[in-house]
Amino acid sequence: MSRAGRGRRKDVCPEIGVLMRYEERVVRVVAEARGQRVIIESLDDDGCTFRSTVKWKNLAPLLAQLF
């Protein structure tokens, strides 16, 4: 029996430069890393830019409205 119709969603790497949601922050995907991870860029409370590495599955697409 084939496993193709089981309904599991295959995670794919988001495109570079796309805006996404990570927890409560809006982030920009900067680069692809190893092991189903991407490097994201976001702003902290002081307005300083910082980068971190997160897994693809923890990123969510933005809704139609930002604010």
Residue 59 has pLDDT above 90, yes or no: yes
Model pLDDT, residue 37: 94
Phi, psi of 52 (to 5 degrees): -150, 165
Put simply, whether the predicted model's pTM sits higher than 0.85 gets the answer no
Chain centroid to Cα 35, Å, comes to 14
Cα 53 from Cα 13, distance rounded (Å):
13
Structure-model confidence comparison of residues 9 and 40, the more confident one: 40
Q: What are 7-22's pLDDT values in tens digits? A: 555 667 889 999 999 9
Average pLDDT, the chain: 84
